A and B are shown apart, each in its own frame.
Chain A
């Protein structure tokens, strides 16, 4: 009898283990709501895009993208945990469910898309750039013959270095590092002539790490613009839609002229599109499994895309980046709102 009891208990324990494991494969939305926190893959310290400030409060464009999703899903912009990930950690972390989403940092590529990553909607367009000390007197790729380039593994830039080198017969010598800070330190110590990464990140590195930012020049490595896109793991379409439309809400708000300041007034707008967008006329939120006013809540908490951009990386920040490709399509940029209906 005693033995029987023991056996039953073992069985029960095994069953318990199995149920916890099945729970893990439930929908991402339910998992997050149950947990009460959104887990976001952050970068390893790129001021302007994602880095904790002096008080340990995370700030940056990527961070606010995560906050927007947290507002939509949990109604609280601070219900986010940030997990700093290196370039090569982020994909496995996303695929295994260690993080719920990756904001911006990843370029939308065919290979990644086909291999278990779902991309939502581009929220940052930029070219890959080189940064070099001005003292070397080089400001275009064609003159870089024989240059040593610090490269971080786990990015598309490794391939860009190779492509550029082959295209212009430059014989570039890559020095490849595994982590972000090692790559940057190697560049500033003079181990490499140039540092390659996304132009935005270069501007951030220059503003935050260079002794005299004016001593460094940034120029495009290729004529091609990359679409940096918040990503989620494959296999959960509802979650992909939620992240996509949360990010889109920021862009759409800007195109409607809705800002953090005037969003309350516009709740009673006569424009049917704005009424649907803000949830005054219901339907949009419910279709995604969210509150109907999720877009209103996002703008109320964070403002629109333009406000976010200026605050973190634009003219109101040390990075002083131009809107460029990231302006609305009506202003000559590539940001295009999808239809909220």
Chain B
């Protein structure tokens, strides 16, 4: 009986599967229980109770409001928001940069294509962290201190504390003003339409823009000047008021974008080159311009090749944002490190970070897969 079971491939397969599964569960259980034992032995508190306690530590830059009186949970949210903000900006900029790079590399202009290929070689082969430190060092050593800040134009200052620019202040009545501006767009579009017959394309657009600005200005005066500019002013040690673009944020955005563009450019170039030469020739035979061929015929087909590797580029970008910690930008990683140090709850904090990155990455790949399915070749 047992021998016949042994020789039955189905039974043997089943046995191996069960053994493997059992081993895996046993291993997981062993890791888990070992961790728990060690935590107890080393008197380390566990649990997520600390999340509601006030965080008390400062975060230097935030996209959502934060004060040290907020909870640890909110500090994590702030970190996640900063990470997402960073990822979004980088992904958009790097995609555009990558597109320009790919077109430059594909161009028949020798200087342009060699410059582009030199760029790719340079940025792809230097570790990202080195680039970040380089740009941060540059940002904090080239520019003067705030007291001697370079004034580019009224209200815009460059210093080693970053770029300061005027910010918008919204007073009462700004809602009304916004409505007026939107209506003005409508008027301008209608005006352009009726003028198109009489004027050239360029001058009709110019007239439309003038109409729009005129109506907005009138609206601004009539609604009691609700929207104003707040100028950054040098008060004491630093500029106060206005918008600040910090050197930390600039360094990470510039570094990540330049680095990711190099990869994105190669992905896009690969995609374009994967399309059969016959498609170009067909387009030319139809009398289309090179630009029309590229954007109407080649790109839509190339996207099928581009999207899957681009997805993994986007995923690495999201993960690379954690390097911002080196230049002092408070993304999730820095917040997690700080929380671990203030509370000692390393395991919980790392688990939260894992969960957050898993969620972000899975969302990015779901989105890209959906897009990929949409542009996929529909076979009829």
Contact = CB atoms under 8 A, between A and B. Distances in A.
B43 A191 contact: no
Nearest to B68: A162
B42 interface: yes
A88 B340 contact: yes
Contact of B237 (A117, A162, A179, A193): A193
B173 to A, nearest CB: 29
A95 B42 contact: yes
Contacts of A155: 341
Given A92-B340, A116-B344, A235 B41 contact: yes
Interface string B158-175: 001100000000000000
Interface in A147-162: 147-148, 151, 153-155, 158-159, 161-162
B52 interface: no
B368 to A, nearest CB: 31
Contact of A91 (B246, B334, B344): B344
A12 interface: no
Interface in A189-241: 189-191, 193, 233-235
A234 B58 contact: no
B340 A116 contact: no
Contacts of B346: 91-92, 95
B238 to A, nearest CB: 5
B57 A159 contact: yes
Contacts of A158: 57-58, 338, 342
Interface in B324-339: 325-328, 330, 334, 337-338
A176 B235 contact: no
Given A115-B44, A146-B237, A182 B326 contact: yes
A176 B328 contact: yes
A112 B43 CA distance: 11
A95 B44 contact: yes
A25 B344 contact: no
Contacts of B68: 159, 162, 166
Given A117-B344, A234-B42, A234-B43, A176 B160 contact: no
Given A176-B59, A233-B42, A148 B341 contact: no
Contact of B160 (A92, A179, A190, A234): A190
A153 B337 contact: yes
B151 interface: no
B60 interface: yes
A162 B60 contact: no
A334 interface: no
A186 B141 CA distance: 10
Nearest to A97: B42
Contacts of A189: 137, 140-141, 160
A169 interface: no
Contacts of A341: none
B34 interface: yes
B363 interface: no
Categorize the interface residue count of chain A: 35 or more
Interface in B245-302: 246-248
A173 interface: yes
B242 interface: no
A114 interface: yes
A146 B236 contact: yes
B38 interface: yes
Contacts of B327: 182
B10 interface: no
Contacts of A177: 328
Given A175-B328, A176-B59, A153 B43 contact: no
B58 A148 contact: no
A154 B342 CA distance: 7
B337 A161 contact: no
Contacts of A337: none
B198 interface: no
B56 interface: yes
Nearest to B338: A153
A87 to B, nearest CB: 7
Contact of B341 (A136, A154, A175, A191): A154
A41 interface: no
Contacts of B237: 136, 144-148, 193
Contact of B236 (A95, A145, A161): A145
A175 B161 CA distance: 10
Interface of A: 21, 25, 87-88, 91-92, 95, 111-112, 114-117, 136, 144-148, 151, 153-155, 158-159, 161-163, 165-166, 173-179, 182, 186, 189-191, 193, 233-235
Given A182-B328, A189-B141, 8 more contacts: A88-B340, A95-B44, A146-B238, A153-B334, A165-B58, A175-B328, A189-B140, A191-B140
Q: What 7 pairs across the A-B complex have the smallest Cβ distances?
A: A115-B344, A234-B43, A116-B44, A154-B341, A158-B57, A174-B58, A177-B328
17 contacts: A25-B38, A88-B337, A88-B340, A115-B44, A115-B45, A116-B44, A153-B337, A155-B341, A158-B338, A159-B56, A159-B68, A161-B58, A173-B60, A176-B334, A178-B326, A189-B141, A190-B140
